[in-house]
Amino acid sequence: MRGALVLLVSLCFFPTYRAWPQNAVRGPDDAVRALLRADSLGDWRSILRIAHPDALREFRESEVRALSSTQDDSVLMRDISQCMKEKIELANKLQLDSVYHVASPTELGALPPDTVFARYRRWQARFPSVSPPDTDSSFPRHRYLGHLSADDSTAYGIILELWDRPPMPDWPARRPQLITVRRVGAEWRTMLDVDFLEGGSRIQTLDSCD
């Protein structure tokens, strides 16, 4: 009985410690710093864990739209020749097969959002971003400055992008970017809405139609 009483008292005195999972992200700053650390290490699995579910759904939807572009009846597609449409469709099918292992955009849209993101990042990891030493460009560094709170469930982290050698003459050496952070239960997750994290399988080289 005495042992049970001691255990009950211990639980009453340490509720905060027990309420947090071991790897919980406790605030917007923790979420953004963890994201930048994972990105610098190429650790896409950690990026996936820190991503907000809405961000993953948006990524899947953007890939479905991009890889079904030839089915779009937009003005842009109407102005493209049939030959070029066929080349784009072939390139899209190659991306669907090699990156996502599906046969169509419809099948891609039926996959869970985290699966789509994981398959893209796993494919992307096969091509490490290494800048050759004899090029004039470099890769940027990112410094986290803090966040602004919109309400109790949304914040905006401020990331400063720093270039030693900007990719273009007019490119700013210092450029601030905002990343959205949202609460999911007790944790905070990132929306991945900064350009160095956004991406997709749409890097294609097409031969011109004669």
Rounded to an integer, the average pLDDT of 75-84 is 70
Residue 14, judged by CB atoms within 10 A of its CB (0-12, 13-18, 19+), counts as exposed
The stretches of 1-137 forming alpha helices (DSSP H) are: 2-13, 15-19, 28-41, 44-50, 53-66, 75-78, 82-95, 105-110, 113-124
Residue 8: φ, ψ to 5° = -65, -40
Query: What's the pLDDT at 207?
Result: 66
Residue range 23-52, pLDDT digits in tens: 555 799 999 999 999 999 999 999 999 999
Strand partners, 148: 156
Listed in sequence order, the DSSP H helices in 79-155 are: 82-95, 105-110, 113-124
Count of H helices and E strands in the chain? Answer: 9, 4
CA angle, residues 42, 197, 174, in degrees to nearest 5: 100
Work out the pLDDT band at 199, boundaries 50, 70, 90.
Answer: low
Q: Which of 74 and 196 is assigned the larger pLDDT?
A: 196
Percentage of residues of the chain with pLDDT beyond 70: 74
